A and B are shown apart, each in its own frame.
Chain A
């Protein structure tokens, strides 16, 4: 079955650019009908959708983060990535990658386990 696994640095300094990668196994990021997504959860807070990318490369970002976010696809490695620029302590969170399934489901049906990112000087 399809599995997702996040990877990236656990600790960052303010003003740096966060880079995370999600590796997809058991399925292809080139498959139609799915958006490849990033979602985060700050400590003691709820879930926040960051954005997603379709197999065609089309993206949609949360307006609250749009100016700092880039999501890209690497079909040769079956991965997708998140870049978040100018991070601050407010970006400290568990970051999840997830598959958003369209075609009658319209939900995040498969998630990675999440990776904790801490921003601290």
Chain B
């Protein structure tokens, strides 16, 4: 299985901050990397697919980059509704695997 490692795990941040979350794959996955946002009691939300493509309806303050084994999710100016947990996921080959999550908290 391809292992996905995220960092940091639970950073503190403030409204207006620029936040970067990193994800590393245990082998090259080209750009088969997606990012999701999870909030308790709500359906998870796809933010970024194929490493850098913004999903329809997602605010432009979210962006993704990377290829091979190293990827980043950037939130350019943190908004109150962005305090959530973020997961990366590889779609290079099944079993589809996720990172351990990054919980953004105030």
Contacts and interface: CB of A to CB of B under 8 A. Distances in A.
A108 B94 CA distance: 13
Interface in B14-31: none
A60 B87 CA distance: 22
Given A96-B44, A114-B43, A108 B89 contact: yes
B50 A105 contact: yes
Interface stretch (A25-33, A41-49, A72-80, A84-92): A41-49
A114 B45 CA distance: 12
Interface residues of B, number: 24
Q: Which range holds the interface residue count of chain A?
A: 20 to 34
B91 interface: yes
Interface of B: 1, 32, 34, 36, 41-46, 49-50, 55, 87, 89, 91, 94-101
Closest 10 A/B residue pairs (Cβ): A107-B49, A49-B96, A47-B98, A107-B34, A106-B91, A111-B43, A62-B95, A111-B44, A46-B100, A113-B43
Given A62-B94, A106-B34, A112-B43, 17 more contacts: A46-B101, A48-B98, A49-B94, A49-B96, A49-B97, A62-B95, A96-B44, A100-B96, A104-B50, A105-B50, A106-B50, A107-B50, A107-B55, A108-B34, A108-B89, A109-B49, A114-B43
Interface of A: 4, 46-49, 60, 62-64, 96, 98, 100, 104-114
